[in-house]
């Protein structure tokens, strides 16, 4: 989720020039893990939790997003430990593309770019109703940019938190356009743009979208069995709908939107073309394509710090929106895999990225948890709770709640000790 970008505003992910960088003069690269320092975003709907609870230390108020692992020119990450501390991540990758692995390099991205962007999102207020284009539309209309398919992992949520996922009934382009121009009670407001026909409706992936419960806590894996598998369980009770989005003025479009209650540990897959919004009360990790393209459809007539309503992108949004009913099927039962010191469960697989949830607990065993990467892809580890230490050779790296670690492809073998939860992302 991010700010709206028109084609004029869009920054293409250009190749990175490292001719003047010390990275270009390195004779060899030790493939070892390193911390990443994020770029912050102060969008008007953000809160304070990323600084208060996740120790980001970014001087922004509000702090809406932190781009944890990013090579995008709108907010590249900085290397925060190791040999290349202080260098920008795109510069390291441009000088040493081999750290990405064989699969990401086949994506054909510009020099210094990775296929994904990983971020924390703190929604203290409702985000705009929005939609992202797919790759084909973005290439044709946004200077060759990538589209944006994304996945959300809910780190925390208030009791009445919710989100918007698609429509609650079948819609069409003109019905949505009319609803966007009217508010409850019949009053209308102007919307600029043409009434061009031929909307592009991105179809949902066969995998669809899901919301799931957090299966167990760190306490549940205090004593982990070795090399066994157990089926995880589904939530026993159904949740009632609550936490509807609110704004300064209720638009007619709101009654057509599919609202879904949110709980800690839920996972949602948001394919390009899905009309959606994160509503107030959720703190989320978002894994997405390397893109900053968002088309706002509706923003509750809010004004920015200058007293102006934020730009809408109605025509482009209608071009790419999927007008089908936005069902959110509950994910089938997952499999928890146990290894010495940790348990893992698979959260999402799509053509852009794969995500696992890891529960680490080595406090009651005498063996540390082993982790490694192969030649196919780098890995990004996002610590969502707890803390620990990563060891390799004679070196070590401490990590805490909110930290993000980059593991190059074919990284040196590492061992983990501690009690933590983190997401493992790879391509």
pLDDT, residue 201, reads 28
- The answer to whether the CB of 369 falls within 8 A of the CB of 340 is yes
| Cross-strand bridge partners of residue 69 | 118
CA count, 13 A, side-chain hemisphere, 404: 24
Instruction: Tell me which CATH code domain 335-426 carries.
Output: 2.60.120.10
Catalytic site positions: 296
pLDDT, residue 407, reads 98
pLDDT, residue 293, reads 98
pTM for the model: 0.82
- Measured CA to CA, the distance from residue 108 to residue 330 in angstroms comes to 35
Domain ranges, ordered by start, for the chain: 22-214+234-320, 335-426
- 22-214+234-320 and 335-426 agree in CATH topology: yes
Per CATH, the homologous superfamily of domain 22-214+234-320 is: Jelly Rolls (2.60.120.10)
Reply yes or no: is the peptide bond before residue 47 cis, omega within 30 of 0.
Answer: no
pLDDT in tens, the chain (427 residues): 444 444 333 445 555 554 555 565 454 688 999 999 999 999 999 999 999 999 999 999 999 999 999 999 999 999 999 999 999 999 999 999 999 999 887 777 888 999 999 999 999 999 999 999 999 999 999 999 999 999 999 999 999 999 999 999 999 999 999 999 886 555 555 443 333 322 222 222 333 333 333 333 333 333 333 333 333 222 322 333 333 444 445 679 999 999 999 999 999 999 999 999 999 999 999 999 999 999 999 999 998 888 999 999 999 999 999 998 887 655 555 778 998 899 999 999 999 999 999 999 998 887 899 998 999 999 999 999 999 999 999 999 999 999 999 999 999 999 999 999 999 999 9
- Measured CA to CA, the distance from residue 342 to residue 226 in angstroms comes to 9
| Cross-strand bridge partners of residue 11 | none
pLDDT, residue 273, reads 97
């Amino acid at each position: 989720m991010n700010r709206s970008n028109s084609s004029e505003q869009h920054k293409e992910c250009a190749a990175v020039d490292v001719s003047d960088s010390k990275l270009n003069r390195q004779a060899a690269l030790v493939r070892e893990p390193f911390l990443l320092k994020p770029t912050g975003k102060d969008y008007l709907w953000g809160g304070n939790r990323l600084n208060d609870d996740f120790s980001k230390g970014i001087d922004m108020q509000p702090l809406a997003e932190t781009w944890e692992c990013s090579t995008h020119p709108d907010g590249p990450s900085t290397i925060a430990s190791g040999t290349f501390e202080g260098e920008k991540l795109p510069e390291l990758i441009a000088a040493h593309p081999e750290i990405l692995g064989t699969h990401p390099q086949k994506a054909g991205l510009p020099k210094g770019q990775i296929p994904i962007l990983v971020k924390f999102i703190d929604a203290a207020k409702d985000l705009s109703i929005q939609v992202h284009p797919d790759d084909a539309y973005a290439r044709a209309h946004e200077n060759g940019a990538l589209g944006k398919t994304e996945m959300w992992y809910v780190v925390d949520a208030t009791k009445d938190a919710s989100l918007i996922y698609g429509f609650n009934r079948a819609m069409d382009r003109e019905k949505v356009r009319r609803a966007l121009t009217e508010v409850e009670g019949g009053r209308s407001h102007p919307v600029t743009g043409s009434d061009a026909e031929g909307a592009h409706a991105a179809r949902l992936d066969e995998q669809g979208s899901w919301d799931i419960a957090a299966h167990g806590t760190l306490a549940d894996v205090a004593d982990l069995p070795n090399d066994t598998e157990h089926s995880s369980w589904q939530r026993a009770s159904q949740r009632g709908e609550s936490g509807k989005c609110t704004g300064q003025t209720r638009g007619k479009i709101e009654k057509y939107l599919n609202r879904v209650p949110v709980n800690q540990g839920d996972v949602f897959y948001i394919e390009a073309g899905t009309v959606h919004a994160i509503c107030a009360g959720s703190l989320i990790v978002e894994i997405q394509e390397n893109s900053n393209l968002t088309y706002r459809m509706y923003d509750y007539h809010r004004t920015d710090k200058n007293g102006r309503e934020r730009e809408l992108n109605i025509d482009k949004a209608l071009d790419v929106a999927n007008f089908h009913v936005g069902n959110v099927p509950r994910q089938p039962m997952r499999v928890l895999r146990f290894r010495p010191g940790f348990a893992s469960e698979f959260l999402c697989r799509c053509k852009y990225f794969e995500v696992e949830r890891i529960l680490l607990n080595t406090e009651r065993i005498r063996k540390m948890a082993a982790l490694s990467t192969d030649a196919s892809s780098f890995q990004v580890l996002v610590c969502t709770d707890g803390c620990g230490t990563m060891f390799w050779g004679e070196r070590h790296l401490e990590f805490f709640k909110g930290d993000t670690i980059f593991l190059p492809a074919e990284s040196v073998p590492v061992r983990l000790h501690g009690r933590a939860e983190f997401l493992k992302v790879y391509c």
